[in-house]
Structure 1
């Protein structure tokens, strides 16, 4: 499909009601199909100011190109749906690309990439009420926790309220938790959660000490899953969106930390085909583990090193069959 920005802009300027009309007539489907597996393409990075993929800093800045890649991915067998912010979902609705697909709204994008307030990740996307009103099927929230940054506490509290609101509407919410720290900062990560090591510095300085790094050790991922599992008044509608650890062989131990359904997250496949191949091998092994119900992947599928979106999507879809 060729996407013309001018055509979308014309509809948006002359007939803005067309977006709601497209949402209202969209054929829906259950979250899980007969296979019980789920493959969702993620495209919510841009609203956080994160535009890089495959070594190109502005890869996702070309909206027509991004939409064309999404349409290719959504057209492939085995792809169940898309995770995106409202602007991208609106474009896809106007393009007719969401019929019969799972539509997942990205709820908190206020923690802009590289900002001092990155961990005070406000809910600037659709609320549970918005998702229900528009007939969408699920929501996703990001939960990054740095014991040395007070913004994490505000995000933790608002995430719990979002879990409650989604459960009240009987809508699944996919929580993506990480323990993280600032490069050059004081002690943080798992050790700080067990004591006071990461909490002794001046409040607010965590946002000023360097770029944010996610801790992908098995212990950190286990701890993040247990925190996310306990959010809100009920976990009945909560899913976990989980990274593969630095040591993929530890994932069986990681997944024993929760009874909630799990999907893997993809990340960036790197610049070279060999990098992508290593990522596929890691995912294939973990997707076979009990508790894993599927995958939510974005840049690895939309911006693969060889540029072939259909091939990348088909490779991951094949792992889930």
Structure 2
């Protein structure tokens, strides 16, 4: 049974077109979470900021996340499962979820820089086109997330780095969590931007991200799961959340890798998007429950 009906979508559109002021009122009245860490002692967030960068693929479907009603249905079902603590998303999706009543008592992290559109020549120039620290604080959300890709051959990298540092500083001044997702990146033979997931590259990106801004008191790192996670986690004392990554055809192997990484006390949670929302068998609830179990 669908969690989001045609009537729900109609009501969202009606609110947006006739009473947009209600969205801020719903956010202001929202029940706040009791803390960042949930019943598992860790934080499990569902990520849904991909579409704002034009990244709509999940598995073999290039437009999977392009169907908003279907995406919202999957999100509401995931957020309704025990052990799911909240969501990471852009304003449009978060506002839809607010109107659906799906974010009561949930951790909400606003996605901040979405300007590095997937597949473009300017992808590394990742402008802050989403939330800023003031809007995150004003809406009563718990923090902000930024993508920080370092391309040694792209002169746009320093501008993105400076913008991330300023965002970390602004969030820290408000006492809000700053989740930084760093990568060493580069262009392949087809001129597509790819992330280097070698141990050396992930360690280097983590150490640079940890040093952004005048304080790291509120900074958490969002890091990919690689084979040598011991070396990656040894590189920092900041709290780490694991990046769920792409939808895997071998979900058992993916869960095993997550479980191994979660054995470290430095890992304080997971941020998973497509792997939970678009699992190979289509069963969102089972994928979510399995992830909660390994937490």
Indicate whether the TM-score tops 0.5. Answer: yes
Partners of 2:245 and 2:195 in 1: CA distance: 12
Q: Quote the residue 1:32 is aligned against.
A: 37
The yes-or-no answer on 1:88 pairing with 2:97 is no
Q: What is the CA deviation profile of residues 102-160 of structure 1, one whole-angstrom value per residue up to 9, with x for unaligned ones?
A: 00100000000011110000000010000000101111000001100011111001000
| TM-fit CA distance, 1:34 | 5.6
The aligned counterpart of 1:279 is: 254
Cross-structure match for 1:195: none
Q: Which residue of 2 aligns with 1:10?
A: 14
Structure 2: 5+ residue runs without aligned partners? none
Counterpart among 237, 241, 246 of residue 263 in structure 1: 241
TM-score, scaled relative to structure 2:
0.96
Residues 91 and 130 in structure 2, CA contact (< 8 A), matched pair in contact too: yes
RMSD: 1.0
Q: After superposition, where does 1:129-278 map in structure 2 within 5 Å? A: 129-184=134-189, 210-245=191-226, 248=227, 250-270=228-248, 272=249, 275-278=250-253
Check whether the contact 1:138–1:172 (CA below 8 A) recurs between aligned residues: yes
TM-superposed CA distance for 1:11, in Å, is 1.3
1:107–1:305 Cα change, 3 Å: same
Corresponding residue of 1:60: 65
Specify the SS of the correspondent of 1:21.
Answer: helix
TM-score under structure 1 normalisation?
0.89
Which residue number in structure 2 is paired with residue 296 of structure 1? Answer: 271
Runs of 4+ aligned residues of structure 1 deviating over 4 Å after TM superposition are none
Which digits, 9 at most, give the CA deviation of each residue in 1:221-251, with x for residues without a partner? 0000000000000000000000012xx2x11
Q: Which has the larger radius of gyration?
A: 1
The whole-number CA distance in structure 1 between the counterparts of 2:153 and 2:60 is 30
Counterpart of 1:23 in structure 2 is 27
Count of residues in correspondence between the two structures: 290
Deviation at 1:3, TM superposition (A): 3.3
- For 2:25 and 2:152, the matched residues in 1 are separated by 45
Rounded to whole Å, the distance in 2 between the matches of 1:97 and 1:268 is 25
> Alpha-carbon deviation of 1:47?
0.2
